[in-house]
Structure 1
């Protein structure tokens, strides 16, 4: 038996059910990138809000690439379970917030119609860093979007779909939308707003002016560790709930969502589920990006080089753990400045405990994906801040060297949108020139961080040592 609306009554007794009538809810949110993280995070907060009495905040999911998630969720009427695994008793709950899933490339008209619907007030995103189509300097890479910039072309990116949806709303006299980025980008709302402005200025300057006047792009910080689900996990979940769930997700008990309190219209009461509405997200997001995500990336590249598969294995290594602690507490933490609301040592201790959770096997290879899109905000920005302050960052440089060797592709295929460009750079620069080619004054990432003489020597020594090994 497979999970569906019809089969809810047959779920095992220990599974928590949605506390509202799903059939009575209209869709108020369109979410692009309805992967495991969204299902374990924003969908759960929205489920909590509707269980507390909020109405018409159902989610229309939109996949920009593969139809895999739609194939998992549509036969289940959008239903899925979230299982929390930690030191206490496992908890499994049924989430009813997602009403349907559209595969945008298959049915672009349906995706545009969802954005243009009178009931839609919020569009949210977990499209990963590469979904924003940015250059290494952080600007919109229009070369990646050329096919859809032609008048009348079918949209393929978030920008194309948003442009079409917003144009319909403007023509119909509907209100603007709140666009909520939930991706790991510093000041993600400001970034999204700037990139979309660039796109709209290119395709429809009048619509760009309407967007700036009628819409809002609050910044957010999201946090929850959500590993990829394995076949063994699905089997265990089936035994727990009494039926098959192809869209199940597994996560840790911890979750956090900090949202800039700036909306163009109504919103769910996400704070019912613990979300924090604040006037300024920047310090929260900087701490998370540099300490948690930065440490995760370091564990990925250093841990994979040591032969580990999972985060909890790598953090238990007696040579890696002190390095990760230094990166978090001294280097990432030192780049944050003084903030009475942030206890760096306490936050680092919390993160280390979460990383060490053996009940949540998080694959290092999953974290290592798309490194070129992640290291600017996770490592290069704090490196630049610390360099300006005269602080050394040996742990971050060791991690950076491990990434440099990873992208050469000797040990495994490189899953990165810049993989071919990075491989070509290695081919042309060689071991002795790769540091300069990446981080020198004319390097690929020079706009984000330019290597100093001391840092160059440390990086080169690490690369030479690892290459020789």
Structure 2
């Protein structure tokens, strides 16, 4: 391959001789979608869909002028801000197929990026601008700032307390949204839509509930206006998007001749199901495969309880065994069988019928996607922030099966493994594990305490609710936890359950 070409707007024509590039006009003036949380997933999903729409995929209509202004509210977003500035907000999407084929393409739908860390005003102004129609979110499960058991907004967060006293100096998504919506109301402008793209069941409803809880304390009159004017559609999103590695950057440069500081890799599969409820219009995403439905609930539940929970099953059990990635877990027959048993015996029975979906086909597609040898999704990424994930992905399945008398053993072992993982912070071979969790210290202390009180880990009620008081679950969990700590052999426990 010839010398790599630096990715930027001026070099697009030259890069276009090597990989597909956007040929549509790109302008900051058209940034009518403002997106908070520009991680890899956003760039492989919503931004990809918009790029396809602007390319004219699936339609012969004129190119819509829609563009995305990305927003960074964390110190960690500074690196992407700097790279985007150099690259004119362009990036490369590398779709990795199971066969080894990689489809690389430059995406141009993001046309601006603003940091709200030190100076919130440009971000508030962009969100409040008359041209902004949608503010979308990928802020992770933990970004919604609520107690996972009670669902109550966490007003103890110091940033929230600061915002309540200083509404013009926001720190969190809630402070920025209320500041921008106040300007919209005061300027007699229509409200924008708040569109959650996070893996939370009823994510739009949750965004609405949390924003109103905050606004009712900060500005009750504004809260009333938000409740009446702002739409919060629920949505179900899906595309496995691993963390970009140095090897990905090098591969793009060596094999495709493109120098990109932060490309994104993903699987071929993509899905987006959205409740068709918008305050101020929306792009015609249905032309590029997005499903707009009246009720997203069944699709959300299917994805969270099968794909996301399945990921956590492989992630936590795989981490203890020493498997580095999800695809390596899927090369181990015990893990494949265990995952299948969990999906078939515990997750599927509580889903019911889902219109237009063959659950057996969907589960088979999950197995294929998890096994994709070119994705190499690290178990550490899957295990990160488990305290925000498991109360939404896995623990509700346990509760529902306890209520109906269904199987709980496969999910229960995952909870026992989580206790071991939190306590030892190493795999069964003694190799240290990378623990990334906002509740890491609390999880560690509770797991340590199980030597004196076998139910101590379960007594983190913000995560487990009343599970420690359920005799059937507590008995099953206690026996599994004890055997795991004594044998240090997760695979043997898995095989015993099959």
Class of the TM-score when normalised by the shorter of the 2 chains: over 0.9
1:40 aligns with 2:52: no
The answer on whether the counterparts of 2:345 and 2:407 sit within 8 Å (CA) in structure 1 is: no
Instruction: Give 1:100's aligned residue.
Output: 112
C-alpha deviation, 1:451, in angstroms: 5.4
Instruction: Give 1:299's aligned residue.
Output: 314
Residue 74 of structure 1: which of 85, 94, 97 is its match?
85
Instruction: Give 2:414's aligned residue.
Output: 399
5 Å-filtered alignment, 1:265-280, equals 265-280=280-295
1:56 aligns with 2:56: no
The 1-side partners of 2:64 and 2:120 are apart by: 27
Residue 86 of structure 1: which of 78, 97, 100 is its match?
97
Instruction: Give 1:127's aligned residue.
Output: 139
Q: Which moved more, 1:280-289 or 1:334-343?
A: 334-343
C-alpha deviation, 1:146, in angstroms: 1.6
1:176 aligns with 2:187: no
Instruction: Give 1:466's aligned residue.
Output: 484
| Structure 1 segments unaligned to the other structure (5+ residues) | none
1:143 aligns with 2:156: yes
Q: TM-score, normalised by structure 2?
A: 0.90
The answer on whether the counterparts of 1:300 and 1:311 sit within 8 Å (CA) in structure 2 is: yes
1:371 aligns with 2:371: no
Instruction: Give 2:215's aligned residue.
Output: 200
The 1-side partners of 2:313 and 2:384 are apart by: 12
1:417 aligns with 2:438: yes
Change (3 A) 1:432 1:93: same
Change (3 A) 1:148 1:432: same
* 3-state SS of paired residue (1:338): coil
What do the CA deviations read for 1:139-161 (whole angstroms, capped 9, x no partner)? 21111122222134621110011
* 3-state SS of paired residue (1:431): coil
C-alpha deviation, 1:338, in angstroms: 3.0
The answer on whether the counterparts of 2:310 and 2:339 sit within 8 Å (CA) in structure 1 is: yes
The 1-side partners of 2:89 and 2:304 are apart by: 31
The answer on whether the counterparts of 1:124 and 1:182 sit within 8 Å (CA) in structure 2 is: yes
The answer on whether the counterparts of 2:380 and 2:435 sit within 8 Å (CA) in structure 1 is: no
5 Å-filtered alignment, 1:350-365, equals 350-365=365-380
* 3-state SS of paired residue (1:142): coil
The 1-side partners of 2:34 and 2:16 are apart by: 31
Instruction: Give 1:456's aligned residue.
Output: 474
* 3-state SS of paired residue (1:6): helix
